[in-house]
């Protein structure tokens, strides 16, 4: 993947770092957030009431002691969330936010709880998503709902969204204006992401039926793009706009940060659709089954791009075999092979490159010159890496 044109005064552009060094930078930055995750959502049962209850709410009433309540909250809320955070993951969203805050002259350490809250918000969405998709695995371990039960997983997953409020109190307890902007940012991101999830859950089968009949992929492709941009792009947009809010960036820069975050999140989801064809592993362990989405009859980006690339009879056969999630292992494997061979995967990769590069061209001139290319190279690494949500 080619890099953007060199910018004067930026040493990183003149000598772009190799992919391995960027990957190490992302991993290093992500590890710096671990103690903020522990601070925001600690393992210790005694801390559970303070973690989950708003200030001023009773933590012990009558014969219910504060300690007993804390232990109950730890089992029902903390444990499902930390089950997933402790499994690892790339944590690239928080690394991107951390580096953006630093680049814009902000205090990343002060904002550490906010960055950690972004990761916990993502964790909560994964817990809920796994319930909705009946996914057995996440990050190489049993999904939270298979360990703690569906009711507890759903409640803990949604509760994780509200740790954003606690993070604001930890990072900006005396800045009401900043806190109000950050709260508004979260609400907008959650609204958009839930709309995207609604579209994803509803599926795009009728649109794919029409695309197969007409050999016209435009509508189904646009619908998949919209779903990805809302479900996956909006939360990453909020990550980068958070950097703009805490550094008092002006409206043009904030909007460009939001657009770039949306592009990276959307492109990552496109890459995840491609990765579905091969399965996902982390350290040799399977974290996502091969063709999990295709087996479920989901219309992913490679399938949509294949509409005008596969011979019509082959396209109809593949869609008939996978549409209702009843295709045999052999049929699904053959479908994966055909999607690779027809150029649909290449079309996906070309699209994710265009998506990120287009947003970068808008953002780059608005950033401080020193070190700004790091964000671009991080985005490259993120959308090209092995997918681990």
Can you tell me whether residue 281 is helix, strand or coil? strand
Q: What's the pLDDT score for residue 135? A: 86
Q: What's the pLDDT score for residue 309? A: 96
Indicate the range of 70-79, 116-125, 158-167, 280-289 predicted with least confidence.
280-289
Percent of the chain with pLDDT over 70: 91
Helix (H) or strand (E) holding 258, with range, is: helix 251-276
Q: Does residue 12 carry a pLDDT above 50? A: no
Q: Long-range contacts made by residues 31-36, C-beta under 8 angstroms, separation at least 24?
A: 32/98, 32/112, 33/91, 33/94, 33/95, 33/98, 33/112, 33/115, 33/116, 33/119, 35/112, 36/112, 36/113, 36/115, 36/116
The DSSP-derived string for 263-279 is HHHHHHHHHHHHHHTT-
Tell me the backbone φ, ψ of residue 51, rounded to 5 degrees: -65, -45
Indicate the range of 40-44, 167-171, 378-382 predicted with least confidence.
378-382
Q: What's the pLDDT score for residue 347? A: 96
Q: What's the pLDDT score for residue 284? A: 61
Tell me how far apart the alpha carbons of residues 116 and 94 are, in angstroms, rounded to a whole number. 7
Q: Does residue 2 carry a pLDDT above 50? A: no
Tell me how far apart the alpha carbons of residues 106 and 115 are, in angstroms, rounded to a whole number. 13
Q: Does residue 1 carry a pLDDT above 50? A: no
Tell me the backbone φ, ψ of residue 64, rounded to 5 degrees: -90, 110
Q: Does residue 14 carry a pLDDT above 60? A: no
Strand runs labelled E in the chain: 137-138, 141-142, 280-282, 285-288
Tell me the backbone φ, ψ of residue 250, rounded to 5 degrees: -75, 165
Q: Which residue has the tokens 């060199």?
A: 6
Can you tell me whether residue 332 is helix, strand or coil? helix
Indicate the range of 50-59, 153-162, 198-207 predicted with least confidence.
50-59
The whole-chain average pLDDT of the chain stands at: 89
Q: How much is the average pLDDT of 212-236?
A: 96
Q: Does residue 9 carry a pLDDT above 50? A: no
Q: How much is the average pLDDT of 252-275?
A: 96
Match domain 15-55+64-384 to its CATH number in 1.10.600.10, 2.70.50.60, 3.40.50.1170, 3.40.190.10: 1.10.600.10
Tell me how far apart the alpha carbons of residues 104 and 23 are, in angstroms, rounded to a whole number. 21
């Amino acid at each position: 993947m080619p890099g953007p044109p060199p910018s004067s005064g930026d040493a990183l552009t003149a000598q772009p770092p190799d992919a391995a060094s960027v990957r190490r930078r992302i991993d290093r930055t992500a590890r710096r957030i671990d103690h903020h995750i522990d601070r925001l959502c600690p393992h210790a049962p005694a801390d559970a009431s303070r973690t989950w209850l708003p200030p001023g709410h009773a933590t012990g009433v009558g014969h219910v002691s504060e300690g007993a309540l804390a232990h109950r909250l730890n089992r029902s809320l903390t444990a499902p969330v930390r089950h997933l955070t402790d499994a690892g993951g790339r944590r690239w969203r928080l690394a991107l936010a951390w580096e953006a805050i630093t680049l814009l002259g902000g205090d990343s350490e002060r904002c550490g709880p906010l960055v950690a809250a972004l990761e916990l918000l993502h964790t909560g969405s994964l817990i809920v998503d796994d319930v909705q998709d009946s996914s057995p695995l996440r990050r190489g371990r049993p999904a939270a709902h298979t360990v703690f039960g569906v009711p507890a997983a759903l409640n803990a997953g949604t509760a994780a969204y509200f740790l954003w409020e606690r993070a604001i109190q930890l990072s900006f307890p005396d800045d009401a204006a900043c806190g109000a902007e950050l709260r508004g940012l979260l609400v907008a991101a959650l609204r958009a992401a839930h709309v995207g999830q609604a579209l994803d859950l509803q599926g795009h089968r009728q649109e794919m039926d029409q695309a197969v009949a007409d050999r016209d992929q435009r509508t189904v492709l646009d619908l998949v793009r919209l779903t990805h941009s809302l479900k996956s792009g909006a939360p990453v947009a909020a990550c980068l706009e958070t950097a703009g809010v805490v550094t008092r960036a002006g409206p043009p820069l904030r909007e460009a940060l939001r657009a770039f975050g949306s592009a990276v999140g959307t492109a990552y989801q496109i890459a995840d659709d491609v990765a579905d064809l091969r399965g996902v592993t982390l350290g040799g362990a399977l974290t996502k089954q091969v063709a999990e989405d295709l087996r479920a009859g989901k219309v992913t980006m490679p399938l949509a791009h294949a509409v005008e690339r596969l011979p019509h009879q082959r396209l109809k056969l593949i869609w008939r075999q996978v549409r209702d999630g009843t295709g045999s292992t052999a049929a699904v494997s053959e479908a994966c092979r055909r999607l690779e061979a027809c150029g649909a995967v290449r079309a996906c990769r070309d699209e994710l490159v265009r998506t990120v590069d287009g947003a970068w061209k808008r953002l780059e001139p608005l950033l401080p010159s020193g070190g700004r290319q790091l964000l671009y190279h991080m985005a490259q690494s993120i959308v090209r890496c092995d997918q681990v949500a």
